[in-house]
Amino acid sequence: MFFHIVLERTMLLHPRFFGPKLRDTLTHQLLQDVEGRCDGKNGFIVAVTNVDPKGSGEITSGTGMVKFPVSYNALVFRPFKGEVLECVVTQVFKMGFFAEAGPLQVFVSNHLIPDDLTFDSTQEPCFKSDTGEWRIQKETEVRLKIVGMRIDATNISAIGTIKDDFLGEIRDDATGT
Amino acid sequence: MARDLSEEEEDAQQLKLGGGFQRAQCLLNAEVIGILEQRQHLEENNNQEFTPTPVFDKSLEYAKRFRKYNNLAAATEARKELMNRNLEQFEICVIGNLCPVSAAEAKAIQASLPDPYRKDKEGHPDPLSEDDIEKLLTDIAHIRRFNN
């Protein structure tokens, strides 16, 4: 799910940046530092929408660098355990398939795929029903539920399931998508 | 260690989002597009080259693919419709983004609704019945259809 949240960060700036453009430098530096990053607490930081320096900086003794507390608004993508979301399948193989929801990669193991869908690699690798009515292959849009997440320092990946009611391949409905 | 614990407590189905996300502003995919494009233009207006990060590109592509509402006005209308129903932010966006067609489907994808034990701000029981949800979903389907 995408969120718009307020985050805080302490920026460390070299004295050579002091001057009329200090604020611009601060903003630029912040964008460089945080956009595109990911951490377990806030998820993927997609874009910073507003930067708001808080008060004046504080010179650190010894180095001359100045600490600026900054608060900023950011658009983040943060997955949650139990969340249901739509994904695009990127790769299918015997053990299951990978799908992407924006920056998040989700793996769905074949244990979490309904039993009536079987792996077939005669043409493009896919999971399909006996009749061929349902077929999950590369580029298929699926709705899945996140059952677990792996969080490390720079990335989040998830384990998903489609073995539940109203999950699996997305079909165009009467409302038209 | 603390991170492991917090992850265990998380459960979107029960609206346990933990930390700063409990009350955070959730966004519909269609709203995400607007914000990201604004961000893109901001840099371009300052005559600076905007080099989107892979995270930015993938998010925008994803939001466009699953936008559900063809324009921001439709998304805003749908959000207004959802906000009138005493739903939590997260529920608003789950329903708004996935557009289930029946109350049973809505409940299957987000177990927290409707909950007869949940109280609103004044302590009254949650007034949202199954019929209300059906009505809500129909309203959203209408909004989507008329903005195509």
Q: Would you call A103 and B59 a contact, using CB atoms and an 8 Å cutoff?
A: yes
So where are chain B's domains?
A: 24-146
Architecture of domain A84-169: Beta Barrel (2.40)
Under the banding of pLDDT at 50, 70 and 90, the label for residue A46 is very high
Distance from CA of A64 to the nearest CA of B (A): 30
Q: Would you call A35 and B145 a contact, using CB atoms and an 8 Å cutoff?
A: no
Mean pLDDT across chain B, nearest whole number?
85
Residue corresponding to tokens 């949800």: B133
Q: Is B92 helix (H, G, I), strand (E, B) or coil?
A: helix
Q: What is the DSSP string of B114-145?
A: S-TT-B-TTSPBP---HHHHHHHHHHHHHHHH
- Reported CATH class of domain B24-146: mainly alpha
Under the banding of pLDDT at 50, 70 and 90, the label for residue A94 is very high
Q: Residue B121's pLDDT is what?
A: 64
Tell me the percentage of chain B whose pLDDT exceeds 90. 53
Which residue in chain A has the smallest CA separation from B59?
A: A102
ipTM of this predicted structure: 0.91
So where are chain A's domains?
A: 2-77, 84-169
C-alpha span between B130 and B3 (Å, rounded): 37
- A142 and A169 Cβ atoms separated by less than 8 Å: yes
Kindly report the backbone phi and psi dihedral angles of residue A140, in degrees, each rounded to the nearest multiple of 5, phi listed first. Answer: -70, 140
From the list B10, B29, B105, which residue is nearest A80 (CB)? B10
Under the banding of pLDDT at 50, 70 and 90, the label for residue A106 is very high
Q: Residue A176's pLDDT is what?
A: 37
What's the CATH code, domain A2-77? 3.30.1490.120
Number of inter-chain CB pairs under 8 A, A vs B: 134
